[in-house]
Amino acid sequence: MTDDLPETMTAMGFDDPGGPDVLRPETLPVPQPGENQVLIRVSHAGVNRPDVIQRQGFYPPPPGASPIPGLEVSGTVVALGDGAPPEMLDRKVCALVSGGGYAEYCLAHSAHCLAVPDGMGMDVAAAIPETLFTVWHNVFERGFARDGETLLVHGGTSGIGTMAIMLAKAFEMTVITTAGSEEKCQAARDLGADLAINYKDEDFVEKAKAFTDGKGVDVVLDMVSGDYVARNIECLAEDGRHVTIAVLGGLKAEINMATVMRKRLVLTGSTLRPRSDEFKALLADEIYNHAWPLFEDGTIRPVMDQTFPHAEAGAAHARMEGGDHIGKIVLAVGGD
């Protein structure tokens, strides 16, 4: 730790699970970086659905992670732990973290950081890591997506959805998405979606089949689960892949396994937060080599919804739970 760092910091935490109003400021010691870690003076923190679920009491942090919410940050590296590259000191970075993002200072593994490109705002940088790491791993690694294939992604105007649309189009895929209003469908089309379906008015299974001339889609990125799973399977083409990343519509699904066998389908899914530091470092390296250049040259830019002051984290959660947002919600924490 450098001598000019404060001993304490403000973080947004909660005592007991509950609604958005349980989030409140607390004073905590500034954490000290351990082996291979860096300490980031946080400029902005991304707000994500797992933060909301943690606040509700259903997604506890993994062992060793900070109990403070927040899975992605942008800021300046102000201290290094043993083994962290010395050239990272004073570097502006965005980082995937296992918790602690809603604070003035946050620890990150040095290999989970990406240098913020010149000209990119720190609010934008904070909106990238969690969705980028999640989409890259689940669509391209677990889903084996490749150019020329068709992706169906639900929740097309969420942070995950907007990132999935942009990445898939950058790699020359056809994208079908669902959203809950014509305004959101148009926003998805503006991002490049080839077909946007208002799931409240239209049957996405019928629409997806018609759009693909009966073939079906190659990959489904599903955040809903529940009764959507059987419908997604109807949408899948032969040798299709179904990737689950959230269970907002229910933990259980009833499916026809004969259809899975007949179509030779792959059903998979993942959660990123509890994965090992080594896994995340390898994922970050692959992203740096294959996806990060698209952010550096401006080909992909996160869709930004709204920025809230740090002290208004509860309002940010309320907006996310309300479902009206399009793109990413972030907290302005510091002045960088």
pLDDT given at position 241: 98
Residue 202 lies in a domain: yes
Structure confidence at residue 2 (pLDDT):
55
Q: What is the pLDDT of residue 3?
A: 56
Crossing angle of helices 228-235 and 204-211, in 10° steps, is 10
pLDDT in tens, 199-246: 999 999 999 999 999 999 999 999 999 999 999 999 999 999 999 999
* Tokens matching residue 333: 């924490």
304 part of a folded domain: yes
pLDDT the model gives residue 4: 85
Give the domain extent around 122.
8-128+274-332
Alpha-carbon distance 241 to 218, whole Å?
A: 6
Residues 61 and 162 in one domain: no
Are 247 and 305 in a shared domain? no
Judge whether 311 lies within some domain. Answer: yes
pTM, entire model: 0.95
Query: Are 88 and 166 found together in one domain?
Result: no
Same-domain check for residues 78 and 17 = yes
Which amino acid belongs to residue 119? G
* Residues 139 and 122 placed together within one structural domain of the fold: no
CA angle (324, 326, 329) in 5-degree steps: 95
**What pLDDT is stored for residue 335 in this prediction?**
66
Say which CATH number the domain at 219 has. 3.40.50.720
Whether residue 197 sits in one domain with residue 320: no
- Where does a domain end: 252, 269, 286? 269
**Can you read off the two tokens belonging to residue 134?**
């999640």
Same structural domain, 264 and 290: no
Select from 329, 295, 291 the least CA-distant residue to 168. 291
Instruction: Give CA torsion, residues 125, 296, 219, 269, to 10 deg.
Output: -40
252 and 156 part of one domain: yes
In a domain, residue 1? The reply is no
Q: What is the mean pLDDT of each run of 10 residues along the chain (336 residues)?
A: 82 97 98 98 97 95 95 98 97 98 98 97 98 98 98 96 98 97 97 97 97 98 96 98 95 96 98 95 97 96 97 98 96 86
61, 99 Cβ separation under 8 angstroms: yes
How many structural domains does the chain have?
2
Say yes or no: 200 and 114 in one domain: no
> Is 108 in the same domain as 149?
no
Residue 58: give its domain's CATH number: 3.90.180.10
User: 269, 285, 315: which is the final residue of a domain?
Assistant: 269
Rounded Cα–Cα distance for residues 50 and 213 (Å): 36
* CA distance linking residue 221 with residue 245, whole number of Å: 7
Which pLDDT score, from 0 to 100, does residue 46 have? Answer: 98
Of 269, 299, 318, the one marking the end of a domain is 269
155 and 238: one domain?
Answer: yes
Domain-embedded: residue 2: no
Residue at 3 is within a domain: no
The span from the CA of 38 to the CA of 309, in Å, is 24
Question: Is the residue at 221 inside a domain?
Answer: yes
Nearest partner of 106 among 141, 67, 51, judged by Cα = 67
169 and 236 assigned to the same domain:
yes
Residue 156 lies in a domain: yes
